[in-house]
Structure 1
């Protein structure tokens, strides 16, 4: 059964989302927002933007859920944050994070979930480990570009680059490599028949 959120023609669908009912996809969306909230709390405090596992979780949700449900899950999580729930880094919520230094990154999050999910739908995932890495890394770099541009607007180009982009590049490489490795392992495990 296909729904608007997850089209039936997904070549990499280890969670079987494309065949799930709309209520089950809604439940997965809520689970995804919980995963994002938890990933946000795993953070290294930095000024003006902390290092978190958010982008790792966001690109993984985009790939595992598909670009539509992945982007919608991220939008729902951001909506929870706007309503004041403490789901962002450091337990923050409310409108302030959407107006301050992190606003550009937050705006980029649904876009990068959709990008990672779209590239996965084109085969850039699973056992295609280099393409998988590039899909996640491209999404991370796009996030840094959008977030860094907003930060540059607020504090100047040089400071925006040195505080909002450069410190996060190594993390983007590491998170992308981890995502590609996990997705390759998941694809291989899914391909192996179960011994009963």
Structure 2
């Protein structure tokens, strides 16, 4: 017997929707550890650093599905808000949720849920090009939401776009490609086997 099917007839990436609460708990723990590790890979920039966070967020959603992916990212953000060193460069605390990084951080659960929803609907079984453009769009959503918050802080939309979007476009495209490659490598894109 194969994995349970999603409504679109594709298998859930790791069939975690029907897993026990214990398995889901450990999946969330693993996901938050992955997110923390990706956060520590950081290149300092102003006003926000370049990290692998958005890559890990989208990957967690794609592999875990929309619900578990969203819960995992929310748990990681809660850890960060409590001051655990899980955010960019091993930092944590509430100031990150009010400063220049707040828009990006608040975009992360949405990104995970969108990528998880897409994965559950079989997006990653549709070759490479369509999943790449979809994941690039999700990365772009993060940049737009992050820049929107920066515009509020800076009081200048064009300055926020220049500081919060332009420097991160190439990295976002590379992260989208890495997500697609990671999903293909794990085999999470495979159709249900009878």
* SS of match in other structure, 2:71: helix
1:179 is matched with 179
* Aligned positions, number: 186
1:23 is displaced (CA, Å) by 1.2
Deviations 1:6-56 (Å, cap 9, x if unpaired)?
xx5332444332342111111110110010000000011101111110011
> Relative contact order (alpha carbons < 8 A, sep ≥ 6): 1 or 2 greater?
2
1:189 is displaced (CA, Å) by 9.3
Q: Hey, which bits of structure 1, 4+ residues long, moved more than 4 A?
A: 188-191
1:147 is displaced (CA, Å) by 0.4
Larger mean CA deviation between 11-20 and 71-80 belongs to 11-20
Please, which runs of 5 or more residues in structure 2 have no aligned partner?
A: none
Question: Partners in 1 of 2:135 and 2:18 — Cα distance?
Answer: 25
Question: Partners in 2 of 1:38 and 1:47 — Cα distance?
Answer: 21
Question: Partners in 2 of 1:145 and 1:119 — Cα distance?
Answer: 20
Question: Partners in 1 of 2:87 and 2:140 — Cα distance?
Answer: 20
TM-score (norm 1): 0.88
Please, which runs of 5 or more residues in structure 1 have no aligned partner?
A: 1-7
Contact 1:126/1:183 (<8 A) preserved: no
- Residue 99 of structure 2 corresponds to residue 100 of structure 1: yes
Contact 1:32/1:73 (<8 A) preserved: yes
Question: Partners in 2 of 1:188 and 1:119 — Cα distance?
Answer: 12
Contact 1:105/1:147 (<8 A) preserved: yes
Question: Partners in 1 of 2:189 and 2:19 — Cα distance?
Answer: 21
2:15 is matched with 16
Report the RMSD for the aligned CA atoms in angstroms.
Answer: 2.1
1:157 is displaced (CA, Å) by 1.1
